[in-house]
Amino acid sequence: MKWTDADLDLTLQALSQEDPPDAALAHVRELVLDQTQPRLRWWWAWLAVPALASALWFVWTPAQLAPPPLIANAPPVVDLPVVRAGAPPVRTRSRPSPPAPRLEPVNDGEYVKIATADPNVVILWKLENEGETR
Amino acid sequence: MIGTADFESLLRANERRVLRTAWRILGSLEDAKDASQEVFLRLHKHLAEIDLRTVHSWLYRTTLNVCFDALRRRRPEGELDFEPESQENPAREVDMNDRKRLLERAIRRLPERERAALVLREIEGLETAQVAEILGISEVTVRSQVSMAKSRLRGWLEGLA
């Protein structure tokens, strides 16, 4: 069999134009996709399991385990006057005390009026027939 | 991050060149299908690390590595013999199909580097610079390996006459 350079180049060219059958390509593609796509599905399944567990935990946890609503029971906020540091103290003026009631001798008997060293104190001594009372 | 749909389109866009290259290197369509499957599984595994602008080079390089790994596990090729496809007229001149079958078998006997350079340059039709980049050698070395491969092939094929 004669093989010149031209024969070799021609045969190489003929080989380069020969494509693998479509069935072989489809077979390879199917095998590759079968082995790659399930992995992706399992990957999402692994993510879904903890998400589902978290959701169930929130649904089934007893209400008493939940912390009390602190905000709802908090006392109402009272508006307190703002006191500025260094503000001058408020001076209050004392009212004059009302005049003391004057003691009038009751005219239900005889009394002896005794003056004391204090001009505001007077002793009234009631005179009775049975004896002395004060 | 590339998605499932993107991977499938990448697979469809490159499956022909990968299977054809593996077929020419291994000389068997069944073995080439196994090798192509391995190449695309590796692509899927390393997709995040691969620059998609150079995915063609990556695919060719990986195809060659997978094929040569398979060849090392396989028995070495035997002597080249020839039986014409048509037995009706053995004396007739061999036709192109016979030549192709003979050449396929002769290519399988080439050393790895020469076979890779010849398949990428002469069958896949890549530029010498591309072949050099894929094989990690200089363009001069690529030309030299292609030339040596052709010389070996001619010698073997003429020896059959």
Predicted ipTM of the assembly: 0.81
Give residue B84's pLDDT. Answer: 47
Give residue A5's pLDDT. Answer: 87
Give residue B79's pLDDT. Answer: 54
Task: Tell me the average pLDDT of chain B.
Answer: 86
Give residue B92's pLDDT. Answer: 46
Closest-CA distance of chain B to residue A3, Å: 6
Give the dihedral sign, CA A33/A34/A39/A40. positive
Q: Are the beta carbons of B94 and A1 closer than 8 angstroms?
A: yes
Does A120 touch chain B if contact means CB atoms closer than 8 Å? no
Sheet holding A132-133, edge to edge: A110-115, A122-127, A132-133
Give the mean pLDDT of B103-110: 91
Cα A109 to the center of its chain, rounded Å: 78
Give residue B60's pLDDT. Answer: 96
pLDDT over 90 (residue B39) = yes
Does A36 touch chain B if contact means CB atoms closer than 8 Å? yes
Q: Which residues, other chains included, contact B67 with Cβ-Cβ below 8 Å and sequence gap of 6+?
A: B21, B22, B25, B26, B32, B35
Q: pLDDT of B144-155, one tens digit each?
A: 999 999 999 999
Q: Are the beta carbons of A112 and A128 closer than 8 angstroms?
A: no
* Closest residue on chain B to A20 (Cα): B20
Give residue A124's pLDDT. Answer: 82
Q: Are the beta carbons of B43 and B64 closer than 8 angstroms?
A: no
Give residue A55's pLDDT. Answer: 84
Give residue A65's pLDDT. Answer: 60
CB atoms within 10 A of CB A134: 6
Give residue B111's pLDDT. Answer: 93
Give residue B91's pLDDT. Answer: 43
At A132 the three-state DSSP class reads strand
Among candidates B11, B19, B21, B10, which has minimal Cα distance to B122? B21
Among candidates A26, A27, A25, A31, which has minimal Cα distance to B41? A31
Q: Which residues, other chains included, contact B124 with Cβ-Cβ below 8 Å and sequence gap of 6+?
A: A16, B17, B20, B21, B24, B60
Taking phi over 0 as left and psi of -120 to 50 as alpha, with beta for the rest, B42 belongs to alpha
Would you write out chain A's pLDDT as a tens digit for each of its 134 residues? 678 889 899 999 999 999 999 999 999 999 999 998 765 556 666 777 788 888 888 787 655 565 655 555 556 666 766 656 665 666 666 667 666 656 555 556 677 888 888 888 888 887 776 655 55
Q: Which percentage of chain B shows pLDDT scores above 70? A: 83
CA–CA separation, A58 and B45 (whole Å): 37
**Of B45 and B161, more confident:** B45
Does A56 touch chain B if contact means CB atoms closer than 8 Å? no
Burial level of B154, CB count in 10 A (0-12/13-18/19+)?
middle
**Of A106 and B33, more confident:** B33
Give the mean pLDDT of B131-138: 95
pLDDT over 50 (residue B86) = no
Give the mean pLDDT of B5-31: 92
Contact (CB<8Å) B158/A1: yes
Give residue A50's pLDDT. Answer: 80
Interface test with B, best of A9, A17, A19, A29 (most B CBs within 10 A): A29
Does A18 touch chain B if contact means CB atoms closer than 8 Å? yes
Half-sphere exposure at residue A19, Cβ-oriented, CA atoms within 13 angstroms: 9
Q: State the amino acid at position A39 in one-letter form.
A: R
Give residue A126's pLDDT. Answer: 77
At A30 the three-state DSSP class reads helix
Give residue B74's pLDDT. Answer: 76
N- to C-terminal Cα distance for chain A? 166
Residue B137: pLDDT band by 50, 70, 90 thresholds?
Answer: very high
CA–CA separation, B12 and B133 (whole Å): 24
